[in-house]
Chains A and B, each alone.
Chain A
Amino acid sequence: GNSVTQMEGPVTLSEEAFLTINCTYTATGYPSLFWYVQYPGEGLQLLLKATKADDKGSNKGFEATYRKETTSFHLEKGSVQVSDSAVYFCALSVFGAAGNKLTFGGGTRVLVKP
């Protein structure tokens, strides 16, 4: 089956620090990989995605590279802001009869302090 494992939080950082959230996956078939973000009190928003090996997704200063050899999709940002405080979810989908059903990791809460 499909599964996603990501580092547990909470991760507490100071503003302008470097952020890494590790994510690894197992999948039957060729997955697409996603990072979703959930700000306090809100729903899930797509942050970035990559659909094939060695693709790099990027958005709002965040980046993640699809590494097939290590089955990983680690999220990075060089200089975080207080507004980046949120829960980050790594997810995968393998397109099939259920469309693009998402399998999520457990989420990593990130708290950025001024």
Chain B
Amino acid sequence: EPEVTQTPSHQVTQMGQEVILRCVPISNHLYFYWYRQILGQKVEFLVSFYNNEISEKSEIFDDQFSVERPDGSNFTLKIRSTKLEDSAMYFCASSEAGLAGAEQYFGPGTRLTVT
């Protein structure tokens, strides 16, 4: 069964450093998403991406964040200058296009620890 993969599984970085979280969505999916889950809190939407551009972003997704689909398979989330409060589990998800209620398939997540 196809699955979404994410690397690395755990990233430790120092405050102010740049990090890139990588995701490989399911190959025939067209919508891509990033969510985050701060420890013990709810899963929060960050950004959605379709047709090579951001289709919606939340207020969390400020200028420190960016997303990119650099080739036909990878989907990346970059945090330019990490803060302590960016420590969270980051989930990538993908779904097929054009259907209300279409299932999103989630990757296993990257745990980001900012020290």
Contacts and interface: CB of A to CB of B under 8 A. Distances in A.
Given A44-B43, A89-B43, A102-B35, A97 B103 contact: no
Interface of A: 30, 32, 36, 42-46, 49, 51, 89, 91, 93-95, 97-107
Interface in B60-115: 91, 93, 95, 97, 99-109
A102 B41 CA distance: 15
Nearest to A33: B101
B95 A100 contact: yes
Contacts of A91: 43
Given A42-B108, A97-B56, A101-B56, A51 B42 contact: no
B107 A43 contact: yes
B28 interface: no
B33 A99 contact: yes
Interface class of chain B by DSSP? strand
Contacts of B33: 99, 101-102
B109 A43 contact: yes
B44 interface: yes
B42 A104 contact: yes
B95 A104 contact: no
B45 A32 contact: no
Nearest to A51: B101
B101 A95 contact: yes
B100 A32 contact: yes
Contact of B45 (A46, A102, A105, A107): A102
Given A104-B44, A106-B42, A98 B55 contact: yes
Q: Which 9 residue pairs of A and B lie closest in terms of their CB atoms, listed nearest first?
A: A98-B56, A32-B101, A51-B101, A99-B31, A95-B100, A98-B48, A44-B106, A43-B108, A104-B43
